[in-house]
Amino acid sequence: MTATRSGAGLAIGASLCLCLNLAGGTFAATAADSASLKYPVARRGNQVDDYHGVKVADPYRWMEDIDSPETRAWVTAEGALSRHYLDAIPGRAQMTERLRRIWNFERWSAPERFGKTWIYTHNDGLQNQSVVEVADDPSATPRALIDPNTLAADGTVALGESAVSADGRLFAYALNEAGSDWQIWHVRDVASGKDLPDEVKWSKFGGAAWRRDASGFYYTAYDPPQPGAALKAANQYVKLYFHRLGTPQSADTLVYARSDRPDWEIGSSVSDDGRYLVVSASLGTDVRNTLLVEDLSRAGSSLTPVVPDPVATFDVIGNVGETLFVRTDLDAPRFRVLAIDLSHPERGAWRTVIPEGADPIDSVTLVGGQLLVHRLKDAHSAVARYATDGKLLGKVALPGLGDAVGFQGHAEDTATYFVYSSYATAPSVYRLDLATGRTSLWRAPHLAGFEAADYETRQVFYRAKDGTRVPMFITARKGTRLDGHNPTILYGYGGFDISITPRFSPAVALWVQMGGVYAVANLRGGGEYGRAWHEAGMKTRKQTVFDDFIAAAQYLIEQHWTDSRHLAINGASNGGLLIGAVEEQRPDLFAAAVPQVGVMDMLRFREFTVGKAWESDYGSVDHAQEFRAMLAYSPVHNARPGRAYPPTLVMTGDHDDRVFPAHSFKFAAAMQHADPAGAPILLRVETRAGHGQGMPTAKRIEEVVDIYSFILQAFGLAGRAA
């Protein structure tokens, strides 16, 4: 069991060396000149809504019916226009060829043992999806357990979440089609490689947790949506079920639900020894949660609240006997580790095992009787080993300023594995010996055409608008001259307690290899410095995130990394909102903007799929103060006619059922209406794709080439070979 680790944002992610000379240059007209653009007509309706006495127009409400003939016709026309523009940009073929070459490197996940079976994923380089492999030992030759690449010719059926039974005999796995978050659970016999007849539908998020005896697993699911509404309808009243193998889903046992709270989310896990079922519940994406525990070893037992009210974060790490170890920010904004005796679970009996420190505790695992504590030290990884009594056993040596993930395992394990990477270092897998604390390399890839030693990442700190010290990573070729003209991409996220850490991406490698600079600002709203950092960018304080990002751009210009004619901005999901808001507030500061799958309509996000869950971070239109704060920056509502906006590539997927694609449709239409004769404002809609998860490699490469082509065209540097 693991205390959940914050995920990374959706940065572009690929590597390419065209050996282009990108420095300097002026804008140049090409066959893709924006002067030839004529946007498809988007009808402006007369819908007006009243929020707390404020009348707000919503002229593109009709686009929320994404399957209507009118919407489909408009989206098709927008797609044709975008393809005409993007395909005419020179240098695309060379970029694609080089990107494929560098992307073609082996990668592995960290192996984990279940019974006598070791399991991990492997990708030979350009496979659309990674293959799940099993072996008797990490050093043995593995065999494929499941190859998702065989499930769809175009690679758009992806392996989602999975869970292995404690004895290693059974593999529960979920499949996602065309990028949708909806998943169907199957069970595969590990020895034979054949599927059992079990099938569980209408699950989304939540994972699966096996009982120790492998009789079945716990999972979460929603009631089936109405026909035709699966990608749009609001997801409410999630339920926790137990599925017993060999029985139909209709016979599954309801374990826990919040019939009184439609927007609560539920998660579950089973302790490593199989004794306890642990259930957590929270209001949407709120990081504060309740905690309930059931002793599965006792007949007739039921879920008992240990933390009845969501007053803080409580992530269960694991247990030793009746002692439950929990990561929490209760009375510790940068987190501490608690021990809770389940025979006396009252709050007054809790004891601190590892106290709060200067660096926030990002995640903790319990392996081989040790607590492996992952901290964020100015947004990069630092890992240490502790005994269960809190005694420090030693620090884990990491190769550099980067990101380490993994450290999974069980009570009887003597070693664990983790994956390390950085912006210039491809993911390598290490073995950690728990007795000695020594690490050794298990697998490392070889990249063709990219030499990590030629590049460097610097961490700098800049001052935000209110004087707060904010970290930023800057990656570039060694010896890059600070002449004020370097082509630069600035990425940001800033929300939902998610920390953006230095992880390898082939796209980033591509950009720096072409002579570009790649900067990542660790904005408030994220989890890089604990609760206070997160809360500083929530709800009525969301403008702080945008101010932090603008200050990062100004720093890059003031320090002569680049100038406003060579600075592009990119972000996805919540980061797409960031880009939309910032380019509207400071259109003079950027040469190009690429918002991906963004939350663009801040007054309507809760109406679709899981959007209601985001009110914990954004606020609610039901509250006047929060409504006014959201209206002030909502990208759909702040596109101002008469303003000159930078070249903008708006990106979404037709099967995005997390951030409904109408967000991007309405934003693109509003921006084109506001600036119809200015720089290109394009809408790119990927087919059979969703929010980014599970996208096949082939589509990712196409996406990166489109993004970089668009940015280079905006810089006036497209097709400039050295």
* Residues that are catalytic: 573, 691
Would you give the DSSP letter of residue 377? E
Q: Could you tell me the two tokens for 270?
A: 């089973």
Would you give the DSSP letter of residue 92? H
The gap between the terminal CA atoms of the chain, to the nearest Å, is: 52
* C-beta atoms surrounding 160 within 10 Å: 22
- 91 neighbors 18 (Cβ within 8 angstroms): yes
- Tokens 């997160």 -> residue: 534
Side-chain-side CA neighbours of 562 within 13 Å: the count stands at 28
- Tokens 């209206």 -> residue: 631
Q: What single letter denotes the amino acid at residue 455?
A: Y
Paired with 254 in beta bridges are 241
- Sorted by sequence, the CB contacts under 8 Å of residue 300 that are 6+ apart come out as none
- 717 neighbors 22 (Cβ within 8 angstroms): yes
Q: Could you tell me the two tokens for 202?
A: 């209408």
Side-chain-side CA neighbours of 449 within 13 Å: the count stands at 20
E strand intervals along 258-378: 264-270, 276-283, 290-295, 304-307, 314-320, 323-328, 336-341, 351-354, 361-367, 370-377
- 332 neighbors 355 (Cβ within 8 angstroms): yes
CA distances, 634 to each of 498, 579, 580, 630, 672 (Å): 21, 11, 8, 6, 16
Helix (H, G, I), strand (E, B) or coil at 669: helix
- 560 neighbors 567 (Cβ within 8 angstroms): no
Are β-strands 517-521 and 488-491 bridged in parallel, bridged antiparallel, or unpaired?
parallel
Are β-strands 681-686 and 648-653 bridged in parallel, bridged antiparallel, or unpaired?
parallel
Say how far apart CA 476 and CA 517 lie, in whole Å.
5
Say how far apart CA 112 and CA 550 lie, in whole Å.
42
- 579 neighbors 631 (Cβ within 8 angstroms): no
Closest CA to 284 of 613, 708, 694, 670: 613
- Tokens 């400071």 -> residue: 586
Q: Could you tell me the two tokens for 338?
A: 């608690």
- 374 neighbors 383 (Cβ within 8 angstroms): yes
Say how far apart CA 667 and CA 651 lie, in whole Å.
11
Say how far apart CA 518 and CA 455 lie, in whole Å.
11
Say how far apart CA 460 and CA 561 lie, in whole Å.
12
Say how far apart CA 479 and CA 313 lie, in whole Å.
44
- 659 neighbors 645 (Cβ within 8 angstroms): no
- 106 neighbors 123 (Cβ within 8 angstroms): yes
Say how far apart CA 133 and CA 634 lie, in whole Å.
45
